Amino acid sequence: MLKAKRIVVIGGSAAGPKAAAKARRLDENAEITIIQREKELSMASCGYPYFVGGFFDDRNMLLCTPTGVVRDPIYYMNAKNIQARTNTEALAIDRVKKTVLIKNLATSKSETIPYDRLILATGAVPNIPPVPSGDLQGITTLQRMQDADFLRRVRDEKKIKKAVVIGGGLIGIETCEALQLAGIDITVIELLPQLLTFLDWEMAELVENHVRSKGVNVITGNGLAAFLGEGGHLTGVKLANGTELPCELAVVAIGVRPNSKLAQEAGLAIGEKRGLLVNEFMQTSDPDIYAAGDCLEIENRITGKRNHAPYGDLANLEGRVAGENAVLGNVATFPGTIQTGICKIFDFKAGTTGLNERSAAQAGFNVLTVINASLDKPGFMNGKLLISKMIVDKADGRILGAQVVGPGDVSRQIAQWAMAVMGKMHVEDVVNADLPYAPPFSLAIDHFIATAHLMQNKIKGRLKGITAIEVKEKIDKKVPLYLLDARGPDEFESMRLGVGEHLIPLGALRKRLGEIPADKEAEIICFCKISLRGYEAALVLEANGWKNVKVMEGGIVAWPYPRER
């Protein structure tokens, strides 16, 4: 019998345990060890904001199997015959001797352990603002289990009244919701001009408006200048523009970067984004060392460029591939990411897949976009709004990406777009998609398909769209425009842009053509609540000889600016 293979996994959060478990399933005889610096193992770290926000109260739910068994070293030994060494830090890798120097953080004892195959799953570390914190109490991240425990105590103790979240990305926004649900006054500060940079600006504005509607103060385009403190406690933050915000708590959430120090010191290849470089087999520049999870840079499946994609789902999938190949040699491949993401933001959800307009343009695509707004299911089934932006390659209609926001079922929408992007589908491949329809689940023509219909109409030259951003620019520049709102008077009373638009209900338009500018070259922009009636109004005007008629995509509900009503 061959000597048992020794597999050492460094990192015990998501990718590491997955790789270890996969390796065990493929080799019952291997000696498998997980080295984990933290006290906990297999933490559902994406669940921290929901624990803090009070969606559940038992912290063990973040650590246990679906049947309630905590995934501690005893569990790993009994259920999987894996030795999990927690509170243990990996200090150095000797690639020649094939050993790892580890240190027990409780006893401070060091030890050298041998490996035949090493799997690095060292994760990511939070970025820290370039501002001294002076060791003030009340400044934290939400990265580790102990951070979650701390913020949960903040929630339970109800002492803190005001907090600042520094960073308006995914974790920042989830933390903002969690703390707001804890009854704390929240200000979110973002250096960039928008929240959630995976979204294009006008989509992010819709999210920002929703966040504000929940009583959260949002400050964009402004960075942190200093933490203010007294007696060792945080008392406020100062912004780049001089504003001072009193607060007792600051959560720093300005992104993460690959934790690649150990690998770098061992001489493994590191990429431009400071992540470990691996081939399609999850193999590093050392053939005996594999890697998975947030410590990597991985390839974008559309652009072919490497980027840092620290997502929990990818970490698991990468871990599975790394674990398989560590045991069997390079038999399994990982295709990279299309950077699909989703988050819940109070009653909204926001998701993305593939490229957004900015990243697609940066990647050199000639981009065509469309915005669509509709309910997710019929009104009689309490349908909720969805607003989508679809991005295709103008050259051939290939679907490059999509973003969806709103209170509706964003999850299914993004899942559909992700499958379309991965399937390298084109507009024509999805306009007649056969998707699950029944009133409790979708409209008869699902929002996804309707979005593709708009794009098809645009490509065929039937829908001449104009974005809200372009319309606003024209209004601000006082370009002569005739803005036509095709809704009914009641709707106009309860909600309207108030930018000088003229109300002519679609049903009356054919009889009231005399009110439209007589000049057939005049620029006319039609819209309604979601711009379906706006589209029909534009077609009526075009058929009656007006030559410069456009439809404002997404209508009033996708207008990213303040409305009159």
- For the segment 324-343, give every residue that binds a second copy (CB under 8 A): 334-335, 337-343
- Rank residues 94 and 313 by Cβ distance to a second copy and give the closer one: 313
The span from the CA of 195 to the CA of 176, in Å, is 12
The strand ranges marked E within 50-184 are: 83-85, 88-94, 99-104, 110-114, 117-120, 124-126, 139-140, 162-166
Q: Could you identify the residue written with the tokens 């500060």?
A: 189
Least spacing, CB of residue 158 vs a second copy, in Å: 22
Q: Which residues, 279 to 318, sit near a second copy by CB under 8 A?
A: 301, 311-317
Position among 475, 542, 548, 561 found at the interface with a second copy (CB under 8 A): 542
- Residues numbered 477 to 516 that lie near a second copy (CB under 8 A) are 487-488, 491, 506-508, 510
When the beta carbons of 90 and 385 are compared against a second copy, the nearer one is 385
Select the residue interacting with a second copy from 29, 146, 241, 362 (CB under 8 A). 29
Whichever of 56 and 479 has its CB closer to a second copy, that residue is 56
Residues 56, 44: Cα–Cα separation, whole Å: 13
Residue 180 burial (CB count, 10 A)? 20
Among 108, 438, 477, 480, binds a second copy (CB under 8 A): 438
C-alpha R_g of the chain: 27
| DSSP conformational letter for 275 | P
Scanning 4-12, 43-51, 119-127, 515-523 for contacts with a second copy by CB under 8 A, the matching segment is: 43-51
Give min distance, CB of 137 to a second copy, in A.
29
By beta-carbon proximity to a second copy, the closer residue of 191 and 433 is: 433
Closest of 171, 182, 165 to residue 237, by C-alpha: 165
- Applying CB under 8 A, the span of 55-63, 145-153, 211-219, 221-229 interacting with a second copy comes to 55-63
Question: In the complex, what is the shortest distance from the CB of residue 159 to a second copy, in angstroms, rounded to a whole number?
Answer: 25
4 binds a second copy, rule: CB under 8 A: no
Specify the residue, 270 or 404, whose C-beta has the smaller distance to a second copy: 404
Closest CA relative to residue 12, chosen from 92, 97, 72, 53: 72
Burial 477-509 (b: 16+ CB within 10 A, else e): eeeebbbbbbbbeebbeeebbebebebbbbeeb
Return the bridge partners of 84, or none: 34
Q: How far apart are CA 145 and CA 433, in angstroms?
A: 43
Complex with a second copy: residue 251 or 418, whichever CB lies closer = 418
φ, ψ of residue 337 in degrees (nearest 5): -125, 150
564 near a second copy, rule: CB under 8 A: no
Look at the chain and count its residues.
Answer: 565
Q: Nearest distance from residue 326's CB to a second copy, in Å?
A: 16
Q: Which of 117, 144, 412, 550 binds a second copy (CB under 8 A)?
A: 412
363 forms part of the interface with a second copy (CB under 8 A): no
Q: From the list 1, 2, 3, 66, which residue makes contact with a second copy (rule: CB under 8 A)?
A: 66
Backbone angles phi, psi at 264, to 5 degrees: -65, -45
* Span interacting with a second copy, options 74-82, 261-269, 355-363, 472-480, rule CB under 8 A: 74-82
The runs of H, that is alpha helices, within 57-167 are 73-80, 145-157
| Amino acid, single-letter form, for residue 258 | P
Least distance (Å) between residue 357 CB and a second copy: 19
Give the separation between CA 341 and CA 113, rounded to whole angstroms. 38
* Number of residues lying near a second copy (CB under 8 A): 102
Complex with a second copy: residue 286 or 409, whichever CB lies closer: 409
Per CB under 8 A, which region of 25-33, 205-213, 218-226, 464-472 contacts a second copy?
Answer: 25-33
Tokens 């789902």 belong to which residue? 313
CB of 515 to a second copy, least distance (A): 16
